[in-house]
Amino acid sequence: MDVSTFVRITVVSFLCYVAILFVLRLSGKRTLVKMSAFDFIVTVSLGTVFGNILINQDEILWEGLYIFCLLLIFQYLSSFLSSRYTLFSRLLKAHPTLLFYDGTYYEHKMVKERIPKSEVLQAIREQGIGRTEEVAAVILETDGKLSVLPKKTNEMKNLNTLTDLEENQ
């Protein structure tokens, strides 16, 4: 590698890094936290564009930055549409799935989501609960984590955090 290539890679890397930070800050907090499938695609694509800009000397920095902006605009539009329209939300976002409720495993959902009973039991144990009778519900969240709701009262009907699961039953 000659000196000019080294200098080019250094300068382009720095400019891309600054541009990515700037564009990600403009795109909002949602870009950097709990990724949906679409967020993951955008992130991988950004990395690919960044890598191409660094490696390929024919790639122009401004073209790469334009692609960064387009990808983030697509992400913003998908977030905007899915937060306002149910149809887009159903198409673009995963929904939580109830896997266990009041002593009953929903095995057909566990098979569909590829979650074995052992993972449900592990999530229960991680919450310090030793008996499934002490668990109100186990939910597979949209980010892939298992949430465990312990029974605190006998009134399980008051679990209002399960309202977004009703359509998935």
Distance of alpha carbon 97 from the chain centroid: 15
Tokens of 158: 């008051």
pLDDT of residue 71: 81
pLDDT of residue 35: 63
Number of domains in the chain: 2
Tokens of 40: 């993951």
Say whether both 20 and 83 belong to one domain.
yes
Say whether both 49 and 68 belong to one domain.
yes
For residue 159, being part of any structural domain is answered with no
pLDDT in tens, the chain (169 residues): 688 877 877 887 788 777 777 766 665 555 555 566 667 777 788 788 888 877 777 767 778 778 878 887 887 888 788 889 888 877 777 788 999 998 999 999 999 999 999 999 999 999 999 999 999 999 998 778 899 999 875 555 566 667 666 444 4
Bridge partners (DSSP) of residue 101 are 104, 137
On whether the pTM is more than 0.75, the answer is: no
Show the domain range for 140: 94-152
Tokens of 114: 């590829």
Distance of alpha carbon 118 from the chain centroid: 23
- Which residues, in sequence order, are CB contacts of 61 under 8 Å at separation 6+? 12, 15, 16, 53
